[in-house]
């Protein structure tokens, strides 16, 4: 079975500061990894995804994530956040060949002025 653990439920940060949202996963088979963002009162939208190849993945809005197989992690980073980045962020995985995306519990990023 696969699982996703987001280590922080809330992350407050000041505007223009760097941020890292942590995600660990568990799987005995190959998986694809995703980060989705949910703005208030909206559905989720894809930020970035790791399929294979380079372990550093760049996404929209200046976010990037690094796949670390030995540590089974897929942490999301941004060097300088904006107020508009305030949202909930979900780490997710999909078993290779599967259809069921498994979502983490979410991390609420709150950017303060």
Partner 1 sequence: DAGVIQSPRHEVTEMGQEVTLRCKPISGHNSLFWYRQTMMRGLELLIYFNNNVPIDDSGMPEDRFSAKMPNASFSTLKIQPSEPRDSAVYFCASSSVAGGPNNEQFFGPGTRLTVL
Q: Least distance (Å) from partner 1 to the CB of residue 113? A: 26
Widest CA span in the chain: 44
Q: Least distance (Å) from partner 1 to the CB of residue 75? A: 19
Residue 85, helix vs strand vs coil: helix
Q: Least distance (Å) from partner 1 to the CB of residue 38? A: 8
Neighbours of 21 (CB within 10 A): 24
Nearer to partner 1, 30 or 80 (CB): 30
Q: Least distance (Å) from partner 1 to the CB of residue 14? A: 26
Does residue 101 contact residue 94 with C-beta atoms inside 8 Å? yes
Nearer to partner 1, 17 or 96 (CB): 96
Residue ranges binding partner 1 (CB under 8 A): 32, 34, 41-46, 49, 51-52, 90, 94, 96-101, 103-106
Nearer to partner 1, 46 or 83 (CB): 46
Does residue 21 contact residue 78 with C-beta atoms inside 8 Å? no
The DSSP letter of residue 84 is: G
């Amino acid at each position: 079975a696969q699982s996703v653990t987001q280590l922080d439920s809330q992350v407050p940060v000041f505007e223009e500061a760097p941020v890292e949202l942590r995600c660990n996963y568990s799987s005995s088979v190959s998986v694809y990894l995703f980060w989705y963002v949910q703005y208030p009162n909206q559905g989720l939208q894809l930020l970035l995804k790791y399929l294979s190849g380079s372990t550093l993945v760049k996404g929209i809005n200046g976010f990037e994530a690094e796949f670390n197989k030995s540590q089974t992690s897929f942490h999301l980073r941004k060097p300088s956040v904006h107020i508009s980045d305030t949202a909930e962020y979900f780490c997710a995985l999909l078993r290779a060949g599967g259809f069921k995306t498994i979502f983490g519990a979410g991390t609420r990023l709150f950017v303060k002025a």
